[in-house]
Amino acid sequence: MFGRRRKKSEKPEGTSDEFETEQDGQDEPQDSAETDAADNGETRIKLPPAPRPDGPWDIEEVTEPSSGRVDLGGLFIPGVEGMELRVEVAGDAIVAATVVLQDSAIQLQAFAAPKREGIWDEVREEIASGITQQGGVIDEVDGPLGWELRAQVPVQLPDGTGGVQVVRFVGVDGPRWFLRGVISGQGAVQPQAAGVLEQIFRDTVVVRGDGPMAPRDPIVLKLPEDAQMVPDGVQQETVEEGSRFAGGLDKLQRGPEITEVR
């Protein structure tokens, strides 16, 4: 479970419910972590999402979200000349999209989040714990997109031998949503070469929707109506960190690809 908690002896910072909505929490499911905290006699520290002066953006903050972006329903992703856009599925739902640009890639996935609390701090802790338990190496740094994890993750190579995959986990909290990015390829090995991918992350628009969602549920995507798709049933390489937020993640399967977005 996620959650930054405080011992009973510490003074609480507020009394409002963590997941309250305009109807005081009646329309949004309660996170089980809040119940665990209550059972243990602890109170969760409520930290609101940090300001996002450079993005990513909420749909309410952008006048023309489709201008220069690919409409995937839950995400509007900036189009860059020569890129490939791959969507990934979990079951029957499209829940993630990966932008491939030359020898680098960034996977984007949005999740519902509590109204008054960011979750990126807790997500980083969980991802880091899962990777280190597998024998991987984690470095937490304050990067161009804020706090991120730079990870060396043990993987099995095609020839059956062991190797290491270098990835960067980035994330930003928004109003009732959380956007996670996983940068791989040269953009992870040489972070200074990831400028375009980082700008794609910043300029992405998230569409949370008004309906009730349990915190940390994925925001479902859809295919563009005019997409030129190349079907691909190849299973994406996965990183098994034991976290639903840890990149690639929950054995997502690659779906159709949209190539040469301009």
> How far does CA 234 lie from the centroid of its chain?
22
- Measured over the CA atoms of residue 139, residue 143, residue 147 and residue 152, the dihedral's sign is negative
**pLDDT for position 33:** 45
pLDDT at 53: 85
CA distance 140 to 145: 12
* pLDDT for position 51: 81
pLDDT at 15: 34
Ordered by start, the domain boundaries in the chain are 1-46, 57-261
State pLDDT tens for residues 85-111.
999 888 888 999 999 999 999 999 999
Decide: 77 and 69 in contact? Cβ < 8 Å: yes
pTM: 0.74
Tell which CATH classification among 3.40.50, 3.30.70, 3.40.1000, 2.60.40 matches the domain 57-261. 3.40.1000
Residue ranges for the chain with pLDDT beneath 70:
1-46, 226-262
Give the three-state DSSP class for 30: coil
